[in-house]
Amino acid sequence: MEDKLNKFKELTAEIFDIYMAAQVLEWDQQVNMPPGGAEQRGNQIATLQRMLHTKTISPEFSKLMEEIEAYAGELDPDSDDVRLIKETRRFYDQRAKVPPEFTAEFYKTISLAYAAWEKAREESDFKMFQPHLEKVVELRRQYAEYFAPYEHVYDPLLDYFEPGMKTAEVQAIFAEIRPQQVDLLQAIAEQPQLDDSFLHLAYDEQKQWDFGVEVITNYGFDWERGRQDKSAHPFTTGFGVNDVRITTRVDRSYLPTALFGTLHECGHALYGMGINPAYERTPLADGASLAVHESQSRTYENLVGRSMPFWEYFYPRLKEFFPAQLGNVDLGTFYKGINKVEPSLIRVEADEATYNLHIMLRLEIEIALMEGTLAVKDLPEAWNERMQEYLGITPPDDKQGVLQDVHWSSGYIGYFSTYALGNLVSAQLWEKLIGDIPDLTDQFRRGEFGALTEWMRTKIHIHGKKFEPHELVQKVTGSKIDPAPYMKYLRTKYGEIYDL
């Protein structure tokens, strides 16, 4: 049986080589490829994905996996081998129920959709993107049907990104935290508003880039195993623990865009770089889920990057980069400015107190699209109505509204709720982290982040996808995903900032 296990690992490695090759092409499309290459790139990715799909569901691999699963019953259920077999089964099942032709069509469709989204966003014209999104939504509904019966049509899509999570569970969590966040926002709205005008000045693009690089180098980003580029929408991708890539975007007239985007993506990258190298070329060489991944990015962006101890160290350095803009702005004013709570149009630039409302809005819309109760052509109007309902503001155009996120053009329907779930997990981990390292914030004041990253590496990163997300959170914190620590964090932080 040992020979069959080795053969199983060999075939799995070949499958994941193809998977990563397709990922490289997708990264290149969003970072380097000229716009005219979209159709050809779609064909290339579709071919690789069809090869991947066919190899995964081949009779040889299927038979071998069944034999190995029988053997796994004799092993330690928490061993790497058993967990590899279990996760490979999940990877297999996600493809065995779907025809290879569908997979090829889907990847060709989203390649064209991404190019259309970029153009539509640039020109703020949803109609340019509409036919592509209609096709994407049609294919996602079709994908869900391959996994029927289900409790809800959205379940198969959510499960792809957040294993084991059901639509009803997410809705219940959101129903619990929404009124609490609304109450907090109402209390903040009754207080005098904070000044952040100094963030809306002319900031040199290269200096913004250089400062972000300096910070994430301190965080532990390894430039021998990672790189940063620019893209229309910041993202992170990895082709192995020694090749993890992030992107950012720079707004010359608003400092937080590049800064916090870079910190956010660095959190993802540190996760990717910290996975057990023994998991390379297997499905275990990934994060436990997108919620767990987001817990990392939101920690390094917000719980650390928007904290006072962080800026006690970095603010003097930032002022050296931008003396004209920040020379007369004291630390307290700057700290409050970057944490100003105000309903805003752009999700990735939203403050911590309003961010989850952006996610709830998108979840409602995605569920309606999948249920067929909302047509794609009506999306801009529905988006604007929900923005007004949730945040009291209406986007002036499609670019700042329905076209702001890249996810739908990439076929990522089912993804958005993981951002809010990641916020919740980040606060749970933070409580445990502070308990384990009581002087952590003092370390931040000295510009020391090694203990933080080492704790995350040993508790979260090293395990990759070995454990299911709820299992991993339970192991580290002692409880399942729980909204209470996050709401406590928000009330404490903004209670101090706004004198509530």
Catalytic annotation, residues: 265
Quick one: which H or E segment has residue 230? strand 226-230
Name beta bridge partners: 238: 244
> CB atoms < 10 A from the CB of 310, how many?
22
In angstroms, the CA 471 to CA 19 distance is 26
CA of 233: how far to CAs of 30, 31, 106, 164, in Å? Answer: 9, 10, 21, 28
CA of 434: how far to CAs of 160, 452, 475, in Å? Answer: 32, 10, 17
Largest CA distance in the chain: 71
Quick one: which H or E segment has residue 244? strand 244-248
CA of 446: how far to CAs of 46, 189, 217, 396, 440, in Å? Answer: 49, 34, 15, 43, 10
Chain centre distance of CA 95: 23
Q: Give buried/exposed letters for 331-365 (b at 16+ CB in 10 A, else e).
A: eeebbbbbbbbbbbbbbbebbbbbbbbbbbbbbbb
DSSP 377: G
CA-closest candidate to residue 8, choices 58, 48, 42: 58
- List, edge to edge, every strand of the sheet that includes 244-248: 226-230, 244-248, 236-238
In angstroms, the CA 469 to CA 163 distance is 7
CA of 57: how far to CAs of 13, 265, 349, 365, 392, in Å? Answer: 14, 33, 42, 33, 49
Q: Is the dihedral of CA 442, 311, 426, 78 positive or negative?
A: negative
